[in-house]
Structure 1
Amino acid sequence: MKTVFTLLILLHALIHLLGFVKAFQFAELKDFPLQISKPVGLFWLGSAMVLLTTGFFYFKENPYWWLFAFVGLILSQVLIISQWSAAKFGTLPNLIILVVAIISYAQFNFEKKIAEEIRETLPSSDPLLPLTESSIQHLPISVRRWLQYSGVIGRPAIQSVYMQQSYQLKLKPEQKNWYTANATQLSVTNPPSFVWSVDVQMMPMLYAFGRDKFVEGKGEMLIKLLSLLPVAKDGYNPQFNEAALQRFLGELVWYPSAAVLDYIEWKEIDNNKAEATMTIGQTKGKGVFEFDDEGKLLQFTANRYMSSGADAIKKDWVVRTLSYKEFNGVQLPNKCNATWVLESGDWTWALFEVDSVVFNIH
């Protein structure tokens, strides 16, 4: 579709270039019926040049291509209106380009908003001390094994982690086919917070762009169709705040050194299980981590709100580890799935893979 749309812009630009050629009589264009003066011909040339630039920038995925599109469309449509009887069909490609440019502009603004939230979320506190064998002795035995296996003992503590992720999603239990998605996430351990953005490809030419965040014990979610039309918004209520906190807690395995921080209280269940309770301000939540004898996470389970409001109910939410991978010397789960346990049966709604990891960005 990218190539097709680029060709549409370039073809539209070349037609405008014919107006310039006709005005200056560089060629005899019998099938181009417009009568154009030389001064107006320069405007046809200008419109063609702006549209050619638009096509080039769009193909190169320049984030500002829409700016040139708006300028080119204004010039183009004014010229078309001045020759309406012969040139009115040029309005159709202008409308197509306009719709795509508006969507791109909305995407640009949404991504700009997320980038600002990421900048505001980056850690500003002093670096955390590295973990030592003595600093983890108060933790359950399974948690100690996990921290040792992860390789974070003696290393600089993880204060932030930026990840790129690939997803397969089912947004409803009855959905048969998976949606493909790409996501990025910044997580900060002190103070605990995350900003997650996702681009979900639902079908050709139809996608949804969303953002989840958890800051100061409060969660918020926003999803827009084509980055333009809000289709889901929730947050800043006790149920959603708790659910977002539990997500942060479950993702502790991506920033293991946070296990010793004061906002988490551990309780040993047995040699391979431990319950963690996390408290931030008025928001509190818990979950159970299960590890194997080597120290690898097997799964995280939390009784979690599926929605918010007075009628919100809790269901078991299970994240299972499918494989591990080393990132910058730290062993992390890199493939997982997430499942809601429902009366009608398990709903595995997400399969995801961590593609890249950067620790302690500033």
Structure 2
Amino acid sequence: MRILFLILVFLHALIHLLGFIKGFGLKEVKELSLPISKPMGFLWLMAAGVLLLYAISYLSQWKYSWLIGLLAVVLSQVLIVIFWKDAKFATLPNLLILLVSLMAWGQYQFSRMVEKETAALLQTSQAPSTEVIQEKDLEELPEPVKNWLRQSGMLGKPRIHIAKVIQEAEMQLKPDQNWMSAQAIQYSTLDSPGFIWSVEVKMNGFLSFRGRDKYEEGKGQMLIKLNSLIPIVNEQGEKLDEGTLQRFLGEMVWFPSFALSPYLRWETLSDSSAKATLSYGEIEGSGIFEFNSKGEVTKFSALRYQGNKPDAQRKEWIMDIEDYETFEGIQVPSKVHSTWKDPNQSWTWLKLQVKEIRYNQNALN
């Protein structure tokens, strides 16, 4: 689709050159019946140049390409109105360029919002210390949690204060829908529990949506915009606060040193499972971690609100861990499936692949 759009813009720019050619008398242009003066011919040339500049900026995915696109549309459309009899059909390409430019503007605005929110979140984190995790730090933990921290490679490593997780995923918004591909980046802070998760999901060649989940100061928020422009979800509230806290709790598998957080209480359930309760702000949430014989986390489950509506009910939310990789010397889950489960249905809605994790100072680079 990008190639077809670029071809359209290029041809649209070439057509504008006809006004320049006629205005300067370089060649007879039978398609244009109205007289064109040299100043007007120069404006047609300028419009063609701006359109070509827009095509180049769009191809290079420059973040300000939308601005050039809007300028090109305004200049072109003014000329089309002046020479409406000859040029009216060129309005159609301008409408398409306008639409694409508005979507690019929406992406720019959405990205700026995420960047500002991420910067504000990261400021709440303490400067990374040189203190490393030692065996004595594990004394108060349940035995399976101790084994997890040992096998993960966390011993001898500095505590994690900030993490950046780069993800690819397949998602379903409803159980019967087709799977959609997604790319996401998440920044998490552990001193003051919080995260910013931004995702872009391709629905088809024309439609996509940008999403941002946020957990900060004990409050959760979910924002989704169609093509980065049209809000379709903008949720916050107590149920979302609790659900987002439980999500943060489950995602501790990507930063194992959080198991030592003063905000956590642990309870041994068996030789291979432990219950964690996270208390932060005015909200408390719990979940159960299950471990295999090697000490790896294999599953996290919690009774979590599915949604934020007044009638939303707690359902079993499960993170099944399918595979592991090592990032910066720490072994963490790299492939995770998330499932909502109730007596009537089991719906796996997310298949997540972790591509990279960076910790502490590396997360900021």
Indicate whether the TM-score tops 0.5.
yes
Counterpart Cα distance in 2 of 1:227 and 1:324: 33
- Between 308-317 and 112-121, the greater mean CA deviation after superposition: 308-317
CA RMSD of aligned residues (A): 1.2
What is the TM-score when the length of structure 1 is the normalising length? 0.97
1:145 aligns with 2:131: no
* Post-superposition offset of 1:180: 1.0
Match of 1:283 in 2: 283
1:50 aligns with 2:50: yes
Matched residue SS, 1:250: helix
Matched residue SS, 1:99: helix
Match of 1:41 in 2: 41
- Between 296-305 and 337-346, the greater mean CA deviation after superposition: 337-346
Counterpart Cα distance in 2 of 1:127 and 1:72: 48
* Post-superposition offset of 1:34: 4.3
1:188 aligns with 2:176: no
Counterpart Cα distance in 2 of 1:6 and 1:346: 44
- Between 124-133 and 253-262, the greater mean CA deviation after superposition: 124-133
* Post-superposition offset of 1:145: 0.8
Match of 1:200 in 2: 201
Match of 1:167 in 2: 169
Amino acid at match of 2:61: E
* Post-superposition offset of 1:16: 0.9
Identical-residue share of aligned pairs (%): 41
What are the superposed Cα offsets for residues 169-188 of structure 1, whole Å, 9 maximum, x if unpaired?
A: 1111232x211111111111
Counterpart Cα distance in 2 of 1:255 and 1:185: 13
Counterpart Cα distance in 2 of 1:133 and 1:202: 48
Amino acid at match of 1:165: Q
Counterpart Cα distance in 2 of 1:173 and 1:44: 52
Does the 8 Å contact 1:301/1:319 carry over to 2? Answer: yes
Match of 2:270 in 1: 270
Match of 1:261 in 2: 261
* Post-superposition offset of 1:254: 0.5
1:306 aligns with 2:306: yes
Counterpart Cα distance in 2 of 1:201 and 1:336: 20
Matched residue SS, 2:134: coil
Matched residue SS, 2:35: coil
Amino acid at match of 1:313: Q
Counterpart Cα distance in 2 of 1:189 and 1:141: 23
* Post-superposition offset of 1:35: 2.3
Match of 2:103 in 1: 103
Counterpart Cα distance in 2 of 1:179 and 1:273: 33
What are the superposed Cα offsets for residues 203-222 of structure 1, whole Å, 9 maximum, x if unpaired?
A: 22111111101001110001
Structure 1 regions of 5+ residues with no counterpart? none
Match of 1:216 in 2: 217
Counterpart Cα distance in 2 of 1:309 and 1:106: 27
* Post-superposition offset of 1:309: 4.3
Structure 2 regions of 5+ residues with no counterpart? none
Amino acid at match of 2:167: Q
| Counterparts of residues 9-20 of structure 1 (less than 5 Å) | 9-20=9-20
Amino acid at match of 1:182: Q
Counterpart Cα distance in 2 of 1:4 and 1:102: 18
What are the superposed Cα offsets for residues 247-293 of structure 1, whole Å, 9 maximum, x if unpaired?
A: 00000011111110100111111111010000001011000000111
Counterpart Cα distance in 2 of 1:200 and 1:170: 10
What is the TM-score when the length of structure 2 is the normalising length? 0.96
What are the superposed Cα offsets for residues 304-347 of structure 1, whole Å, 9 maximum, x if unpaired?
A: 00022442210000000010011121111000100001232210
What are the superposed Cα offsets for residues 6-47 of structure 1, whole Å, 9 maximum, x if unpaired?
A: 111111111112211221122333344442111111111111
- Between 28-37 and 290-299, the greater mean CA deviation after superposition: 28-37
Does the 8 Å contact 2:125/2:190 carry over to 1? Answer: no
Counterpart Cα distance in 1 of 2:170 and 2:229: 23
Match of 2:247 in 1: 247
Does the 8 Å contact 1:19/1:34 carry over to 2? Answer: no
Counterpart Cα distance in 2 of 1:289 and 1:155: 22
Matched residue SS, 1:203: coil
Match of 2:324 in 1: 324
Counterpart Cα distance in 1 of 2:81 and 2:32: 16
Match of 1:127 in 2: 128
Does the 8 Å contact 2:126/2:161 carry over to 1? Answer: no
Does the 8 Å contact 2:103/2:228 carry over to 1? Answer: yes
Counterpart Cα distance in 2 of 1:118 and 1:126: 16
1:83 aligns with 2:83: yes
Matched residue SS, 1:347: strand
- Between 254-263 and 18-27, the greater mean CA deviation after superposition: 18-27
Match of residue 156, structure 1, among 138, 155, 158: 158
Matched residue SS, 2:165: strand
Match of 1:343 in 2: 343
Does the 8 Å contact 2:214/2:222 carry over to 1? Answer: yes
